[in-house]
Structure 1
Amino acid sequence: MGIIIHSLESVSFKDLYAAFSSAFKDYDFSLNADELRRMLDRRGYNPQLSFGVFFEGRLISFVFNGTGMYNNILTAYDTGTGTVPSFRGLHLTQKIFTFSLELIYQQGVRQYVLEVLQHNHKAIKIYRKLGFETQRNFNYYSAKLSDIVPVLQVNHTACRILPSDLKNCLNQTAWFDFHPSWQNDRASLERGIDNLDILGAYEREELVGFVIFEPASGDISSLAVAKDYRRKGIGKSLLKSAVSHFQSDVLKFTNVDCDCESVTGFLSSLGLTPKGQQFEMVRKI
């Protein structure tokens, strides 16, 4: 049996994880099985519209796709792409994309979205050849809690920090200064709700800010404050309460729009500097 390409619909999670671990074993990046499962669930993994290359029955290259509405367009999102080391250099990723585009189109998908590290010039070159164009520039941030906690001390704020409701928080669309990326968009947060905590800032019973975060990873998925209540320490108060629930010793912000000065400025005021940058790339289908 030679190399074949087909969907991942019948592939077990055990085999998906084995291929994923092998593909990323020489990267400065790793996920255990539970973390991978959470990532796939939250990002809308669709095995019927995800595809892989198989050699003698073994998954050797893959594209995990999520599907859903994004900017009011039915979208496929590249949740994870990789090739096991011994099969690199064979252009398998390009072959998967080429194979899958017509099948995805037949299911009504009209755009493909992905994110790629800006220093990964090889991958960017491949994606551009496949017709992807840069949509936005994102920063990502991380800091040790031991460094960030002292910065989060607030002299005084009248608000109370209490558990809150996802729907109520996400309905405050006027508080967002940029449209969230796929993994932090409303649908992704709704899918991942079992692994998220939500805290609201209340002043005289009125919700004036919120933070949505994943305690296990330290990922801040969404942080927003009503515009009339900014520069009053509410953002810091929310983060201070959030990190007290962390099981991780690291605080992370992923996919912050580089052009959003209000958010990048707030993070800079906490002493956070970008650890890297990503492109959000889109291909119309």
Structure 2
Amino acid sequence: MTLEAAAADTDYGSSASGSSFYAAMRILPRDQREAMFQIYSFCRQVDDIADSDGPRPERLAALQQWRDDIDALYQGHPPPRLRDYAGSVRKFDLQRADFLAIVDGMEMDVPQDIRAPDLATLDLYCDRVASAVGRLSVRVFGLPSDDGLLLAHHLGRALQLTNILRDIDEDAGLGRLYLPREGLEAAGIAGSDPIKVTADPNVPKVCAPLVARARDHFENADAVMARHPRRVVRAPRIMSRYYRAILELLVARGFAAPRAPVRLNKLAKFAIVLRHAFI
């Protein structure tokens, strides 16, 4: 199936087309694919609110409206933008708390930009913006509850830590700094100004423990997926391989400024899909 044909299967596909998420999800059966594109669309829309340059009170109000709309969905009278979600919520038993956790995670950047959070706050952020997405996703994939929660915990954090390490300079340009306070202090970096911190020559010392933590989460996620049939974990395995490859490219490049952008090329992406998409 071509990318274009898969996108035509659902309105949500167009917003995901071209992403690593899209390549992983287009191999799923139709009902699972539609549910995952709905989850993706929801995440994109609330993320766009958090990342916009609109006034903070307006962004907070917009995120609160999403909470109200999620509540209405679960009360049986969804607003138009969530009407199509009702079938997926019923079929896969998607949990209201996980949708709301995602909104809460996006909101963490709105009252003020996150700058040098402590490790506990960073982990909470990763749980809300990534592992909560995983908790919705594993229900769609059909994993049993205990291992589903474990996979969501570990793979969500692995992906988000990789994002943080990849986007250091992009985030700094937005006034954000996700490198943890404890790591900065241990490396002898004072302050939390994103531009100044990311230019410091000791940034690689801050990144090294995050790389180790991300690798550990990837390995734990792999251990969970190894316990289940390949057809059940094809999509999360592709996501894991994509992001693990990005992490290793980041390590090979290094974290000292200037940091060239790192991307996985099309051939590498295709090889990962080819290896894991088919049983």
TM-score by length of 1: 0.26
TM-score by length of 2: 0.27
Structure with the largest fraction of helix: 2
Question: Which structure is richer in relative contact order (CA contacts within 8 A, separation 6 or more)?
Answer: 1
Larger Rg: 1
Structure with the largest fraction of strand: 1
